[in-house]
Amino acid sequence: MSFKPSNFTCSTTCLNVTCLDDACSNCDVINETCLHGCQQGWYGSQCENACSLHCDTNNLTSTVCDHHDGACLNGCNPGHFGSGCNVTCATGCYGKRCDRVTGECVDGCLAGFRGRLCSGMYLRLNNKLTVQMTGVAP
């Protein structure tokens, strides 16, 4: 807990942050960081960053993302993966569902796509079967 002088007035920065509970009383007066975490949907030392819109929010009784690094705590909405759910699954994923960490397609590939990431597409050119790699998020 930080010491607040008797003539303390809440700084402009502390008034604008989305700290958990009352922003003014839970904001460090020296470095203007949130002492007890952020309101749901925000992260960062001053709770200045919004959680990814692709974090799963079906369970609204819990926090959407980690208040330190923004990692989605409940997983990702379909079609996204990565700790912040900011990477799009390959277009060849059946049902647009992929593993939250690896991006591998959970339900297999759409017709014509191959590989764990469903990024290889089989095409027939001049009666020869060839594999063409499609653009896939890293």
Is 102 in contact with 88 (CB distance < 8 Å)? Answer: no
The pLDDT of residue 7 = 40
Distance CA 73, CA 38 (A): 14
pLDDT (tens digit, 9 = 90+) per residue, 36-54?
778 888 888 888 888 998 9
The pLDDT of residue 15 = 61
The pLDDT of residue 69 = 93
* pTM tops 0.85: no
The 3-state secondary structure of the chain reads: CCCCCCCCCCCHHHHHCCECCCCCCCECCCCCCECCCECCCEECCCCCEECCCCECCCCCCCCCECCCCCCECCCECCCEECCCCCEECCCCEHHHCECCCCCCECCCECCCEECCCCCEEEEEECCEEEEEECCCCC
Does the structure show a pLDDT above 80 at 9? no
pLDDT (tens digit, 9 = 90+) per residue, 89-127?
998 999 888 998 899 999 999 988 888 888 876 655 555
Give residues with Cβ within 8 angstroms of 24, minimum separation 6. 10, 14, 15
